[in-house]
Amino acid sequence: MDKNKIKKGLGRGLSSLIGETKNEKDFNKLSISDLVSNKFQPRKIFDEENLKDLTNSIKERGIIQPIIVRKSSVNNSKYEIIAGERRWLAAQKAGLHEVPVVITNADDLKSLEFAIIENVQRNDLNAVEEARGYQRLIDEFSYDQEKVAKFIGKSRSHIANFLRLLGLPEEVLKLIETKKLTPGHAKILVGLHNSAFVANKIIEKNLSVRQSENFVKIFKIKKQSSKKIKDINLQALENSIREKIGLNVLIKNKNNNTGSLILEYKDLTQLNKIIEIIKSNY
């Protein structure tokens, strides 16, 4: 993408993003059955109460804001939703047969950008979904953290903090997704070997973020006391590589300057990314 187009995405809004793509028609109506879900939709959990409220609103006033779609790459007779999946679901519950749409020519990157921008603008994503959306931009479209931050209109530290959550065990991520654990609590757990145990204790004792920080310090101090402090230069190098490629990096260096470089991956997509980087440079 042109760097001039990556200014603050949230500040520009969806209307600006629509303007960057060529619209086949400014406005149209399609049958509900002609639409399919966005394969890049970052949101996996739809709040049933909010969906019910939207359904009632649509029954009374109809759909005010059209759904943004593109031609499906899988089925030429279908249209894939880029933005407005919640409206589409509510329209089905409201018994509508047709919905207003804007048909646009968007590639996969633009489709993912649309989906992330819409959900982040409306605070519809939980922290894990938001983090995974950012990670997809990094893994599948070669964004780095700085580029994601500029596009989303958030600070680089915000992006980094959310991405770090993905290093937590799946058990803890589920607690965040189901809102049993807040992102503020979860950030404290990053790096703890017993994060799942501590997370459940936080929930069980109904600890505030401040109380959780004090509780976690017990484990961190114990771990640090038995661990040699890593050379500051190695830490800086790890952070530099981590920010560049978006993966966790661990450098182990011995006194004779032999050691190991460990790159952690969460799925096959990240593994393939590591392999491609190595092949392209050696």
pLDDT in tens, 143-201: 889 988 888 888 999 999 999 999 999 999 999 988 899 999 999 999 888 899 999 99
Check pLDDT > 60 for residue 24. no
Q: What is the pLDDT of residue 122?
A: 64
CA angle 104, 110, 112 (to 5 degrees): 115
Q: Using DSSP, state whether 215 is helix, strand or coil.
A: helix
Domains of the chain: 3-150 (3.90.1530.10), 167-225 (no CATH), 232-281 (no CATH)
Check pLDDT > 50 for residue 1. no
Tokens, residue 259: 């050691």
User: 107 near 70, Cβ under 8 Å?
Assistant: no
The share of the chain scoring above pLDDT 70, in percent, equals 82
pLDDT in tens, 208-266: 999 999 888 876 665 554 445 567 788 888 888 887 777 788 888 877 888 888 888 87
Residues 6+ positions from 98 with CB-CB distance below 8 Å: 29, 30, 31, 32
Determine the residue type at 112.
L
Please tell me whether the overall predicted TM-score, pTM, comes out greater than 0.75 for this model.
no
- Report CA 156 to chain centroid distance, whole Å: 14
Q: Which of 37-46, 64-73, 123-132 has the highest mean pLDDT?
A: 64-73
Which of 116, 103, 107 minimizes the C-alpha distance to 69? 103
Catalytic residue ranges: 85
Do β-strands 98-105 and 22-31 pair in parallel, antiparallel, or remain unpaired?
Answer: antiparallel
End-to-end CA gap in the chain = 27
- What average pLDDT is seen over the chain? 80
